[in-house]
Structure 1
Amino acid sequence: MKLKDLRPVKRGGNRTTAFLNVALLGLSLTLGACASKDEVDDLALNDTPPEVLYNEGLALRAQGKLRDAGDKFEELDKLYPYSEYAKKSLVNLAYLNFTRGKYTEAISAAKRFLTLYPGSNDAAYALYIIGQSYFRQMPDITRDQEMTEKAMSAFRELIQRYPDSEYTSDAEKKLLITQDQLAGKEMQVGRFYLKKRNYIASINRFKTVVINYQTTRHVEEALFRLTESYYALGVVNEAQTAAAVLGHNYPDSQWYKDAYSLLTKGGYEPSEDTGSWISRAFKKVNVL
C-alpha cells in the first residue's frame, strides 16, 4: 500500500498563522478543564492518516517490536474508530496480545471485533484467537475448569459456524483436548465421592463422563466406576449393564477385567439391560 506524502504544506501570510494560533489557543482553553496538556497537544496535532498509522504498525510488527506495534494499532482504533483500518488493526491487536501472552486483552479485542464485524472474513480467525487464549490458560484438573469450558465453547462455535475454515482442523484437535480435560476433572471428583462412599454423588460424576465425554480416554474407567458404585448400592442390574457395555466396547481393557472380576465374586456376570441409560448412551451418535 502506497503511503501518503507527509511533507508539510506551506501556508500563506502572517494573518493565517495568527488565526491558527488563536484557534489552537481557544481549543486548549476549552479542553483544559477536562484534559491534560499532553492530551490536548495530541488531539490538536495528531492528524496522521489512518493508512499511515496502520502501515507503521505493520512495520513495527515485522521488526518484532510487538508492544510498539500494539500501541500503534490502539492509537489508530481510537483516532479512526469504525474505519476499515481500525477493523484491520483490531484483528492485529488481538493477535499481538495473544503472542505477548496478554490473553485477557487478546480475548477482549477479538470479541469486540466479532461484535462490530460479525460477517467479516476474519471472524473465524477472531474466534480461533479467543479459543487459543482460553486454551493457553487451562489449569490442571485439580483446579476450577472455567477456562477449559470457555475454550471448548469457542472451538465448538468455530467448528460449527466455519466448518471450512483453515483453523477448523486445529480447533477440532484442541476441542478433544478440552473434553479430555473436563472428563478428567469429573473423574477426579467422582473418585473422591466413591472413596467417601457417597455413591449417588459418584454415579452422577461418572454419568457425566459417559454421556458428555464418551470419546475421551476416561470413559473406560468411568464405566468400571459405575459398576463399582451401583454394585455397592445394591443396584446390581445397572452394575451388570455398565460392565457389559464396557466389555462390548473395550473387550481388552483392564477396566473390563476388573469389572468382570468384581461381579463374578458376587455370583453375577455382565449383562446388558437395553433399557438402561448406560446402554442408550452408547447407542447415540456422538455429535460435537
Structure 2
Amino acid sequence: MFLPGPVRGSVIALCIVALAVAGCRTHRERDEKKQTPDALYKRARHDLNSNDFNAAIKIYEQLTARFPFADEARQSRLDLIYAYYRAGEGESATDAAETFIRENPAHPRVDYAWYVKGLVEFERTPNLIEHLFRADLTQRPPSTARKAFAAFRTVVEQYPKSEYAHDSLQRMIYLRNRLASYEVHVARYYFKRGAYVAAAQRAKGTIEQYDGAPAVREALEIMIESYDRLNLQPLAAQTRQVYQANYARDVPQSQAEIRKAWWKIW
C-alpha cells in the first residue's frame, strides 16, 4: 500500500519508538531476572525505609516467589507484614503474619508477627468514630477487640522479654476494659428483661475473664441484684462479701442502694 511521504515518515518514527520501548522493557526485565536475592532484598529494604511501601511490597513478593528457600525470602516475609500494615492493607498484613507464625514458630522475631497481627485488629476498633460522634461502642459486639486482645496476650505471655511486650500489655488493658464494658452491657440487657439467671452468669463471666476492669464493679452489682431477684440469698450474701472486700469505702448496704448505684444509668 502506497503512503504519502509525511505519513510514511510518521509510521516509521512510531515503529522506531515502539521498538525502543520494547527493547528497554526487555532489557529491564532481563536485568531484574539476573538480580540475586540479596540485591532484590536491598532494593526492597531501601523502598521500605523510604516509606515507598507499595514499591517495597512488589519487590518482596517477587523475591519470595522467585527464591522461596533463600534466607532473604524468610526475612522478606517478615518485612512484608510491616509493609502491608503501613500500606493500609490490613487483610494482607494479617494473612502474612499468620503465615509467618505458622511456618516459623521458633523464629527469634515471631513475636513481631503476633504484635502486628494485634495492631491490625486493634486499629479496626472504631475509636475515631467514638471520639467524633460520642457513640457508645461498648454496646457493639467487639469481635476485632477480642482478636487483638488474644494476639497481644500471646506476646505478653509467650514472649515477656519482647520489645513489644510493654506496649502489648498497655493495649491489653484498654481492650480488657472495653470488652468488660460490653459484657456488662449484655448482662444489663438480660437483667432489664427479667432474665436474671442469664444476667448473673454473664456478669460472673465478666469478672472471671476481665478481672481488674472498672466494669467489674457493676458486674458484681448485677450479680447481687440478680441473686436477690432469684431469692438465692446465700449467693447474694457471698457476692456482697466480695463487693465489700473490693469496694469497702462505699459498699451498698441494702438491695435498694445497690439498685440505685447502677440502675440510674438506664
TM-score by length of 2: 0.77
| Separation (CA, whole Å) in 1 of partners of 2:69 and 2:102 | 12
After TM superposition, give the deviation of residue 178 of structure 1 in Å.
Answer: 2.1
Q: Residue 113 of structure 1 aligns to which amino acid in structure 2?
A: F
Counterparts of residues 216-235 of structure 1 (less than 5 Å): 216-235=213-232
1:249 is the counterpart of 2:236: no
Aligned to 2:152: 155
Aligned to 2:175: 178
Aligned to 1:210: 207
Aligned to 2:191: 194
| Separation (CA, whole Å) in 2 of partners of 1:45 and 1:244 | 72
Structure 2 runs not aligned, ≥5 long: 1-24, 127-136, 259-266
Q: Residue 236 of structure 1 aligns to which amino acid in structure 2?
A: Q
| Separation (CA, whole Å) in 2 of partners of 1:252 and 1:75 | 64
| Separation (CA, whole Å) in 2 of partners of 1:190 and 1:264 | 19
| Separation (CA, whole Å) in 2 of partners of 1:173 and 1:123 | 20
After TM superposition, give the deviation of residue 130 of structure 1 in Å.
Answer: 1.1
Q: In the superposition, relative to structure 1, how do residues 264 and 48 fare at CA in structure 2: closer, same or farther (>3 Å)?
A: closer
After TM superposition, give the deviation of residue 113 of structure 1 in Å.
Answer: 1.4
| Separation (CA, whole Å) in 2 of partners of 1:45 and 1:191 | 62
1:137 to 99, 103, 124: 124
1:262 to 240, 251, 255: 255
CA RMSD of superposed structures (Å) = 2.3
Which structure shows the bigger proportion of residues in helix conformation? 2
After TM superposition, give the deviation of residue 186 of structure 1 in Å.
Answer: 0.8
1:12-50 Cα distance to aligned partner (Å, 9 max, x none): xxxxxxxxxxxxxxxxxxxxxxxxxx9xx9699723211
Counterparts of residues 78-157 of structure 1 (less than 5 Å): 78-138=65-125, 140-157=137-154
After TM superposition, give the deviation of residue 79 of structure 1 in Å.
Answer: 1.1
1:65 to 39, 42, 52: 52
| Separation (CA, whole Å) in 2 of partners of 1:134 and 1:177 | 13
| Separation (CA, whole Å) in 1 of partners of 2:147 and 2:32 | 43
Q: In the superposition, relative to structure 1, how do residues 158 and 264 fare at CA in structure 2: closer, same or farther (>3 Å)?
A: closer
Q: Residue 261 of structure 1 aligns to which amino acid in structure 2?
A: S
Say which SS state the counterpart of residue 162 (structure 2) adopts.
Answer: coil
Aligned to 1:53: 40
Are the counterparts in 2 of residues 190 and 205 from structure 1 also a CA contact under 8 Å? Answer: yes
How many residues are paired up?
A: 222
Aligned to 1:239: 236
Are the counterparts in 2 of residues 240 and 263 from structure 1 also a CA contact under 8 Å? Answer: no
After TM superposition, give the deviation of residue 252 of structure 1 in Å.
Answer: 2.3
| Separation (CA, whole Å) in 2 of partners of 1:118 and 1:82 | 17
After TM superposition, give the deviation of residue 205 of structure 1 in Å.
Answer: 0.7
Aligned to 2:6: none
Aligned to 1:165: 162
Are the counterparts in 2 of residues 128 and 158 from structure 1 also a CA contact under 8 Å? Answer: yes
Q: In the superposition, relative to structure 1, how do residues 108 and 245 fare at CA in structure 2: closer, same or farther (>3 Å)?
A: same
Structure 1 runs not aligned, ≥5 long: 1-37, 266-288
Q: In the superposition, relative to structure 1, how do residues 45 and 163 fare at CA in structure 2: closer, same or farther (>3 Å)?
A: closer
